[in-house]
């Protein structure tokens, strides 16, 4: 009889520990400090989201630019380039393409991680020095027969 009571008590304690484990795990999350502003990217487990499109608006005062229906915020950690060189928000031109990645901040704003302004240069899909059509006469040798001399 004592053995049965000990087994039941042991199983009850084991069940209580298993049932309480998620509660203890959640308590650790509650005590963790909240991430704010620029640290929101580190808290985002999915990583940055990519975007591409033409710049439709630039607001230097608010440090934002708009692509499509999304307004992106330039933060201290934002990496900006144009034509392979470091850039500033002043290099964003309405009508020109922009592409890059962003994270969503705790305030709901779209914080720029990286952005490249301007047209795509190089790459596999044409453009740049290696792509595109060759000029008709570039490096070609003339395969036509020389004109016959006039006959007297």
Condensed to tens digits (0 to 9), the pLDDT of residues 32-55 reads 444 333 344 444 557 899 999 999
For residue 111, count CB atoms less than 10 angstroms from its CB and return exposed for 0-12, middle for 13-18, buried for 19 or more.
Answer: buried
Query: What is the mean pLDDT of the segment spanning 115-129?
Result: 68
**CATH class of the region 39-117:** mainly beta
Against a cut of 0.85, is the pTM above it?
A: no
Long-range contacts of 42-46 (CB under 8 A, 24+ apart): 43/106, 44/103, 44/104
């Amino acid at each position: 009889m004592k053995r049965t009571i000990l087994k039941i008590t042991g199983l009850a304690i084991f069940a209580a520990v298993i049932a309480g484990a998620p509660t203890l795990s959640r308590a650790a999350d509650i005590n963790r400090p909240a991430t704010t502003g620029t640290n929101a990217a580190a808290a985002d487990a999915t990583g940055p989201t990519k975007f591409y499109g033409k710049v439709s608006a630039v607001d230097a005062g608010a440090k934002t630019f708009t692509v499509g229906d999304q307004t992106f915020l330039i933060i201290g950690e934002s990496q900006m380039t144009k034509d392979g060189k470091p850039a500033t928000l002043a290099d964003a031109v309405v009508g020109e393409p922009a592409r890059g990645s962003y994270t969503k901040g705790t305030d709901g704003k779209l914080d720029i991680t990286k952005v490249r302004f301007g047209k795509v240069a190089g790459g596999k899909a044409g453009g740049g020095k290696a792509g595109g059509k060759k000029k008709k006469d570039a490096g070609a040798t003339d395969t036509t027969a020389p004109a016959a001399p006039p006959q007297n």
